[in-house]
Amino acid sequence: MLGAALAACGSPAKGTGDGGGTGSGVDAPAAVDAFAGPYRDFPTGPIIDTPTGGTPTPPNASGLFGDPSSGTPTGGPCLIEPEVGTLYPHNWLRPRFSWQPVPGQNLFELRLTAANETDPLIVYTTGTSWTMPADMWTALSTHIVDAPITVTIRGAVWDGSALTTPPALGSHGDIAIAPADAPGAIVYWTTSGGTRLRGFHIGDENVRDIVRPSQAAADTKCVGCHSSTPDGLYVGFSDSPDAGTGDPTRLALRTADGTVTEPPFLTAAARTLMARQNQEQPAFSKQHWSAGDHIAITMWPQNGFQIMWTDLEATSTAEGIGWGLITRTGDTNPAAYASFAHTTDQLLYVSSSNVDSGVTVNHGDLATVPYGNRQGGTVAKISGADLAAYNEYYPTYSPDDRWVAYNRLADGERSYNNSQAEVFAIAAAGGTATRLLANDPPTCSGRTSPGVTNSWPKWAPEVSTIGGKRYYWLTFSSTRIAAGKPQLYVTPVVEENNTLTTYPALYLWNQPASESNHTPAWDNFDIPVN
């Protein structure tokens, strides 16, 4: 069911693993000279910021707050973004700082300090957020890389002329900027204002429509589960003539560049095969994306659900010529949520005795099977992600195939839109799973995980290796914001000596906070820059 697929569609934590595979890398930003500077990226005096339509911030706020050590050591605002301890990609959009005030507090001091900056950044405002100017962020991210930047937030009650309470210290601690970029673009599904696929490049401050239902087919009312073709030119997605449940689903391909056109290589037979009902979760492989060999895999409701291949240049709609099922020797369970590895012909999927939509399961284990020139092969479970106590699902390979990110629940819990979902990572060869620190909202926010629907993890399309560390990036959706709407987040995952270090999540503030945003796909999508 498309509807089911879509609606679902501090100190860093550490774990171990021993992945394999070759690297998919990106060029690192230019190295920063640790002995250069000091720099004057921050102004010498405080910034007096009044939010649009808000109460004017007093120009003497610095005198009201006094020395940064004054006031009380607790009782101040809770910093919601960025979370203390987080690590920004080098090419992140200019950071927004937002906080949850203590009731009554209406005047705030935000302070940033770094050892190689001549001056602190000090902002006074009556608002509950402040966004760094783009030129300041460009300078800061050029100079202060892989070094601590200390953030503090203080709040007080101001009666229009004086403070009636002493400044109270709230969240405080270090953040940092990685020496690595987060590459590519994210295309996601929103259910707000009718279903649509929307997208942006990392660093964009706005999002744009990529595919609307009317652009898929004349009778399409719903678009949903999607992925990129290996060249980034096309979005493959499920579409449906039903605007309610989203069933039945078909396979569609359209350009991501705004023209929303079909690939020229699609044959009449391929279009007939793509129009079959109840195909779900399309995926593609660069091993099979060239003239004469354009293959899509989808989930197909036969014997529960199976992994189906479709030849997009088919000369016949006959089974074995235009399409077929992947043989999974040693696994009699239905299959769900299949995808290709990046560097090999391996398929990653969920094996489950209970699959009810091609992506929704109750008793999932992670497994692999060879594509085997359309013939399949012998199944291997991923040790450590095949545990009887858990329902493991939504797996995705890292760009170098060393790691698998996935969701986990208690066994028997249904994966569909489950608030208890959390994101884990494990070595592709098996081992001990690492729970990502990004699952946890800020402690002071009052929200906790499990309970905030951390779901649909996807890796960035490339990994950077810098100074003996591999920098990966993951996106996922979560309902942790106060309104409870699903929104997109990004988090770094850093590997050194086969050990993962994970970090708090970064909120993508360019997405509309009023919309419900799910099922991100992250790849080198050829979408326009916003």
DSSP 162-176: SBSS--EEEEEEEEE
Q: How far apart are CA 96 and CA 100, in angstroms?
A: 14
Q: How many CA atoms lie within 13 A of 449 on its CB side?
A: 26
Q: How far apart are CA 76 and CA 108, in angstroms?
A: 9
What secondary structure letter does DSSP report for 219? T
Four-CA torsion 392, 484, 225, 192, nearest 10 degrees? 170
Q: How far apart are CA 496 and CA 465, in angstroms?
A: 10
Domains of the chain (ranges, CATH numbers): 2-28+185-523 (2.120.10.30), 47-177 (2.60.40.10)
Q: How far apart are CA 319 and CA 269, in angstroms?
A: 12
Give the pLDDT of residue 15.
35
SS (H, E, C) 78-109: EEEECCCCCEECCCCCCCEEEEECCCCCCEEE
Q: Which of the residues in the chain have pLDDT under 70? A: 1-36, 245-246
Q: How many CA atoms lie within 13 A of 348 on its CB side?
A: 30
Measure Cα distances from 486 to 3, 31, 40, 48 in Å.
15, 37, 39, 33
Where is 269: in which H helix or E strand?
A: helix 268-274
DSSP string covering 4-21:
HHHH---PPPEEEB---S
The pTM score is 0.92
Measure Cα distances from 263 to 100, 155, 227, 250 in Å.
48, 56, 15, 16
- The structure tokens listed for 397 are 């390979």
Q: How far apart are CA 253 and CA 234, in angstroms?
A: 6
- The structure tokens listed for 19 are 């992945």
- Report phi then psi at 258, rounded to 5: 105, -15
